[in-house]
């Protein structure tokens, strides 16, 4: 049995979607970020990083979205969520996921979590990061638009974990005030993902009442 620790609106959605796709048996534990539950002593026992997602397995807890996506894809090969036997294609999966986590998600995080990189009471610097957000996130997405998203899916003809991750992060574009008119292919991908019954079902589950 797998347990996914998540909060609505976070990047934990990517692993949630991959789990739903995989056919895995899993349960959800929802954290309330408004009550700072991700930094509660109980949750820090699960994940000392104080973030989501975390995936509890019978061998221990895993964190970091690219790692969870790898675990789900390799544990449930019949779901064909990644080209497991092809070293080059698997590296492309990780290339895309690393770009999302280390460049795109990081750019986004400067909007509300700038205190990670400057003093929390430095209002000028925090505002400066927020001001740059549309450009920093927009430029990061422009590379996806123009180079990385091959179509119809991220890596071409086969849907992979990369599509669930891209969908998750692309939901933040308007909140970051990015000019989405420069990203028609990303928006088309997002709309197509959103129309999937599996995606609808997972979003509905995330909207459910906090436990």
**Which stretch, 28-36, 97-105, 164-172, 196-204, contacts a second copy (CB under 8 A)?**
97-105
Distance CA 54, CA 52 (A): 5
Q: Which is nearer to a second copy, 139 or 206 (CB)?
A: 139
- Smallest gap from Cβ 194 to a second copy, in A, equals 26
Tokens of 144: 């996806």
Helix (H) or strand (E) holding 133: helix 123-143
Binds a second copy (CB under 8 A): choice among 57, 80, 182, 203? 57
- The reply to whether 158 sits near a second copy by the rule CB under 8 A is no
């996506």: which residue's tokens?
A: 69
Per-residue x/- marks for a second copy, 6-45, CB under 8 A? ----------------------------------------
Compute the half-sphere exposure of residue 190: CA atoms within 13 Å on the CB side of its CA.
18
Using the contact rule CB under 8 A, the part of the chain among 31-39, 99-107, 171-179, 203-211 near a second copy is 99-107
Gap between the Cα atoms of 67 and 165, Å rounded: 12
CA atoms of 53 and 46, how far apart (whole Å): 11
Place of tokens 């998540």: 6
Query: Can you tell me which of 124, 174, 197, 211 binds a second copy, judged by CB under 8 A?
Result: 124
């Amino acid at each position: 049995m797998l347990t996914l620790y998540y909060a609505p609106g976070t990047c934990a959605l990517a692993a949630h979607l991959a789990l739903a796709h995989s056919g895995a048996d899993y349960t959800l534990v929802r954290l309330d970020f408004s009550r700072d539950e991700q930094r509660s002593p109980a949750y820090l026992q699960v994940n000392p990083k104080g973030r989501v997602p975390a995936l509890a397995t019978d061998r221990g807890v895993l964190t970091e979205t690219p790692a969870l996506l790898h675990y789900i894809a390799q544990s449930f090969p019949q779901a064909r969520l990644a080209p497991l036997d092809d070293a080059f294609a698997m590296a492309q999966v990780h290339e895309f996921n690393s770009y999302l986590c280390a460049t795109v998600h990081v750019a986004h995080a400067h909007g509300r979590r700038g205190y990670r990189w400057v003093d929390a009471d430095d209002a000028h610097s925090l505002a400066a990061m927020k001001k740059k957000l549309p450009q920093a996130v927009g430029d990061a997405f422009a590379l996806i638009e123009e180079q990385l998203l091959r179509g119809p899916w991220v890596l071409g003809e086969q849907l992979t974990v990369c599509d669930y991750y891209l969908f998750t992060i692309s939901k933040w574009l308007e909140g970051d005030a990015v000019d989405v008119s420069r990203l028609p292919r990303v928006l088309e991908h997002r709309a197509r993902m959103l129309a999937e019954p599996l995606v609808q079902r997972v979003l509905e589950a995330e909207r459910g009442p906090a436990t």
